[in-house]
Amino acid sequence: MEFRHWLHRNPELSGREYSTSASILDYISEYEPDNLVTDLGGKGIAAEFEGSQPGPRILLRCDMDALPINEKMDIPYRSAIHGVSHKCGHDGHMTILLGIAARLYQHRPTRGSVVLLFQPAEETGEGARRVIIDSKFREIEPDFVIALHNLPGFPLGSIILKDGAFSSASRGIKVELSGTSSHASEPQKGTSPALAVAQIIKAFTRLSQLSISKGSTPMVTVTHARTGSQTFGTSPGEGCVMAALRASTTEEMDIISGSIEKMAEVIAQTNKLECRISRTDEFPVTENSGKAVAAIRSAAGNLGLLIVKPDAPFPWSEDFGHFTKKYPGALFGIGTGTDAPALHSPEYDFPDELIASGVDIFIEIIDELLN
């Protein structure tokens, strides 16, 4: 708990988890793991605890980064870094994994091995991919990958679990338009992208409203738009629209992305503008495997925990999808209370009482998968 408060007080943004990484390394070294990998995909750390018999390697993953959000809460361990705070509960996830290290120090797994992975840069969607492509990751290539995320809106300590897609895929689309600038008194002498920017915003927003009116997750959300610069003297020559796309399968994502891009290209063409489209911030669907879900379900059952089964995949994305794309595994949720503030809101704080519950469920899952 004390360590969670220390992490909370010292948050670091994605890709800059320097002191977070150093303190985890200090802490985990005391538990004498059999194998310790550092600077994994950035400032990531993996600690492996081996059993005496051969068996599967189970990787438990937590995330290390905080968010560019100013903390508004008056708590004794409030963030010491202005404009940065742990508002996604990753401080809690890290503390849970350290709790597991303490247990594995006393009782090694019966067989196989357990890898505790502290992964950087989850919020930007870059960390998981970087860890996987890091050559050091070959040393700890897992047979199963498991992660949890704390989830407000569900009873405290409940386990949120689902077969198949657990969270959605998302992709950022950037549409850059270029025409020719001209004097603001002679817009007819140039080609301004202003109208095209407005038409693209309208077209994308209409699609979004359509899906909301049908009760489903918006497929596209305009997140940024701009044309020219802040001046009265020039009719602009360039513009830009950025949008976030969401889908519950990879195929659906490709279809939505294709039609959105086509729409932007047609609008650009009709307005005699050049159009360049790029894709960023890719998060694949987090796909849960049957065997991993069954192990989590029995583990929760053994502990007498309430299991909540969502009907549809969550609309948000998790870069853990990069792991489940490659290895069988699952992401599950642990409820932080029906009245808890939303993740990423300035009032959010990971509930300390979930640290012990998180450790217990993971230990139980390890037993299920190894026996």
What is the three-class DSSP state of 86? coil
CB of residue 89 to Zn ion, shortest distance in Å: 6
Q: Which two tokens stand for residue 190?
A: 């140039």
Query: Smaller CB distance to Zn ion: residue 88 or 354?
Result: 88
118, 42 contact by CB (below 8 A):
no
The tokens describing 114, both together, are 């357990």
Closest distance of CB 144 from Zn ion, Å: 21
Smallest distance, Å, CB 333 to Zn ion?
11
N-terminal to C-terminal alpha carbon distance within the chain:
30
Amino acid at 58: I
Smallest gap from residue 96 Cβ to Zn ion (A): 13
| Closer to Zn ion by Cβ: residue 98 or 200 | 98
Residue number with CB closer to Zn ion (88 or 200): 88
In this structure, is the dihedral angle defined by the CA atoms of residues 357, 362, 363 and 364, taken in order, positive or negative? positive
Q: What are the CA-CA distances from residue 244 to residues 62, 185, 218, 316 (Å)? A: 25, 36, 10, 11
Which sign does the torsion angle of CA 199, 280, 118, 84 carry? Answer: negative
Q: Which is nearer to Zn ion, 8 or 57 (CB)?
A: 8
Phi, psi dihedrals of residue 342, rounded to the nearest 5°: -70, 155
Total residues belonging to the chain: 371
**Residue numbers of the site for Zn ion (CB under 5 A)?**
88
Computed over its alpha carbons, how large is the radius of gyration of the chain? Answer: 23
| Distance (Å) of CA 350 to CA 175, 248, 337 | 37, 27, 10
Residue found by looking up tokens 């939505």 in the block = 256
Nearest distance, CB of residue 237 and Zn ion, angstroms: 37
Output the smallest distance, CB 217 to Zn ion, in A: 17
Nearer to Zn ion, 88 or 116 (CB): 88
By Cβ distance, which residue is nearest to Zn ion? 88
Q: What is the Cα–Cα distance from 271 to 276, expressed in whole angstroms?
A: 14
Would you say 50 or 65 has its CB closer to Zn ion? 65
Nearer to Zn ion, 119 or 235 (CB): 119
Q: Find the shortest distance in angstroms from Cβ 175 to Zn ion.
A: 26
